[in-house]
C-alpha cells in the first residue's frame, strides 16, 4: 500500500473516532463510511444513478454469489465488475467466507481451503486462498478480502481456535498470491466471542502487512455488549495508520458505537432489507409504513429528509404501494433508508471534524429509539436460518 493511501485527518480527543481519507483505484472516499450491499452486482431495487443521487460513494459486492452466478468469466469478459454493473466508483468484494458458512448446506474445511455445495444447484466447489484472490482480482474491485473461516457465534472454543488457525494460514497465502495491481487486500480477524482468541487473531493478522484490516464473525446473533467487548479488545491491537472495517454491521446505533471505538468502514444489508419489509428509518427510530395508521397521513416519511421519496411522496402513498405490493414501494423505501444512512455518516464525519462527535452521538441516541435487544437477537438468529433455506444473504 502506498504511504498516502489512507490518511487520518482528525481524531476525537474523547474517543477513538477519526476522520480519514481512503484512496483507491476508482476514487477517494471519506471515512467513516457505510457501504450498501449489492451482493449480486446490484443494490436491490436501485439503479447506479439512484445510488449516485443518494450520495453513495462506495458499495459492497460478493465474489461468492458472482462466482456461482453469472460466473467470474462472464464479468471478466464484460471488462470487470465496474463495467458489468455500470458503477464507476469504488467497490469492495467479500471473499465469500461468511456466505459459505451461512448459505451452504455442506462445507468441509481443510488446510487447502474449503469445499462446499452451491446453494443454487448443489454442485460441489473448492475454493483455496489463492483461488479466492484470483477471482477477486478478475472482478477488479478496489478492496478485496482474504479468505477466512467464519464460525457460528455458538461454536465451541476448539472450533473457534481452529477457525483462527486456518484464517491466519490462509491470510498469509492470500497475501503472497496477491498481484500488485492497485487493489487493496484486507486481512480478516476472527476469534468469536473469546477475548484471548480475538487478541491472538489480531496479533497474527496484523503481523502481515495488509493495507487494511477487518473484524469478522460478529453481528451473528450475539448481544451488543458482547460485540462491543470484542471490538474493543480487537481495535486496540490494530494499527492506527490503516483502515479498520467492521464487517456486516449497519444499524444506526451500531455505526455510532463503532465509530466511537475506532472503526472506519461498515457494511450491512440491514437498511435495504428492512426497507423492502416496510421499515423506514427516521430520527426517532424505525416506523412500519405498512401499519394502517399511515393510510391517511399526507406528509413525507420525515419532514427534514431531503431524499427523492420524501420530496415527492406522502406516507399515505408509500403505505398504499406496500399494501398493493407494487414494486415501486421497494424502490422508494430503499432510497429513503440509504439516504438516511448516508446522511448519518456524513453528519458523523462533520461532527468528528468539528470536535463534536460525543455530543452528536449523545444527541442522536437521545431521540432515536432502538430495537428491543432480545427481539433483535431472535430476529438475527431467524435471519441466519432463513438465509440457509432461501439461499440468499439479502432477504
Indicate which residues carry an active-site annotation.
94, 267
- The answer to whether 216 touches 102, Cβ cutoff 8 Å, is no
Nearest one of 254, 238, 257, 109 to 186, comparing CA atoms = 238
**H, E, C per residue of 198-228:** HHHHHHHHHCCCCCEEEECCCCCCCCHHHHH
Decide if 45 contacts 117 (C-beta within 8 A): no
HEC string of 33-59 equals: EEEEECCCCCCCCCCHHHHHHHCCCCE
Helix (H, G, I), strand (E, B) or coil at 18: strand
Evaluate the omega torsion of the peptide bond into residue 32 and state whether it is cis, within 30 degrees of 0. yes
Distance of CA 110 to the CA centre of its chain: 27
Q: What angle do CA 302, 307, 310 make, to 5 degrees?
A: 45
Please say whether the dihedral angle defined by the alpha carbons of residues 312, 316, 317 and 323, taken in this order, is positive or negative: positive
Residue 309 grid coordinates: 421519496
Q: Which residue has the cell 443518494?
A: 54
The kind and range of the H/E element at 127 are: strand 124-127
Amino acid at each position: 500500500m502506498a504511504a498516502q493511501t489512507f490518511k487520518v485527518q482528525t481524531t476525537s480527543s474523547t474517543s477513538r473516532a477519526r476522520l480519514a481519507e481512503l484512496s483507491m483505484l476508482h476514487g477517494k472516499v471519506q471515512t467513516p463510511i457505510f457501504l450498501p450491499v449489492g451482493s449480486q452486482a446490484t443494490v436491490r431495487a436501485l439503479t447506479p444513478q439512484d445510488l449516485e443521487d443518494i450520495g453513495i460513494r462506495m458499495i459492497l459486492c460478493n465474489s461468492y454469489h458472482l462466482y456461482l452466478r453469472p460466473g467470474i468469466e462472464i464479468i471478466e469478459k464484460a471488462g470487470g465488475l465496474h463495467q458489468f454493473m455500470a458503477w464507476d466508483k469504488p467497490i469492495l468484494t467479500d471473499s465469500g467466507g461468511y456466505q459459505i458458512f451461512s448459505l451452504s448446506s455442506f462445507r468441509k474445511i481443510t488446510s487447502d481451503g474449503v469445499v462446499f455445495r452451491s446453494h443454487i444447484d448443489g454442485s460441489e466447489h473448492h475454493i483455496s486462498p489463492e483461488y479466492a484472490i484470483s477471482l477477486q482480482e478478475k472482478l477488479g474491485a478496489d478492496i478485496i478480502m482474504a479468505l477466512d473461516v467464519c464460525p457460528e457465534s455458538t461454536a465451541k472454543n476448539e472450533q473457534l481456535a481452529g477457525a483462527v488457525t486456518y484464517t491466519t494460514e490462509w491470510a498469509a497465502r492470500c497475501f503472497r498470491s496477491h498481484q500488485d495491481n492497485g487493489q487493496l487486500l484486507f486481512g480478516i480477524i476472527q476469534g468469536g466471542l473469546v477475548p484471548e482468541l480475538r487478541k491472538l487473531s489480531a496479533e497474527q493478522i496484523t503481523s502481515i502487512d495488509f493495507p487494511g484490516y477487518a473484524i469478522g464473525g460478529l453481528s451473528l446473533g450475539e448481544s451488543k455488549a458482547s460485540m462491543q467487548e470484542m471490538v474493543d479488545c480487537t481495535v486496540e491491537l490494530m494499527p492506527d495508520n490503516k483502515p479498520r472495517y467492521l464487517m456486516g454491521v449497519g444499524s444506526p446505533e451500531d455505526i455510532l458505537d463503532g465509530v466511537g471505538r475506532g472503526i472506519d468502514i461498515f457494511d450491512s444489508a440491514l437498511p435495504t432489507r428492512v426497507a423492502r419489509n416496510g421499515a423506514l428509518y427516521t430520527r426517532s427510530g424505525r416506523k412500519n409504513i405498512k401499519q394502517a395508521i399511515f393510510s391517511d397521513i399526507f406528509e413525507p416519511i420525515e419532514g427534514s429528509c431531503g431524499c427523492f421519496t420524501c420530496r415527492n411522496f406522502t406516507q399515505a402513498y408509500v403505505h398504499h404501494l406496500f399494501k398493493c405490493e407494487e414494486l415501486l414501494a421497494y424502490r422508494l423505501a430503499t432510497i429513503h433508508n440509504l439516504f438516511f444512512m448516508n446522511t448519518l455518516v456524513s453528519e458523523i464525519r462533520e461532527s468528528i471534524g468539528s470536535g463534536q462527535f460525543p455530543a452528536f452521538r449523545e444527541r442522536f441516541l437521545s431521540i432515536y429509539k432502538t430495537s428491543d435487544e432480545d427481539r433483535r437477537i431472535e430476529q438475527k438468529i431467524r435471519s441466519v436460518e432463513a438465509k440457509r433455506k432461501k439461499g440468499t444473504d439479502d432477504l
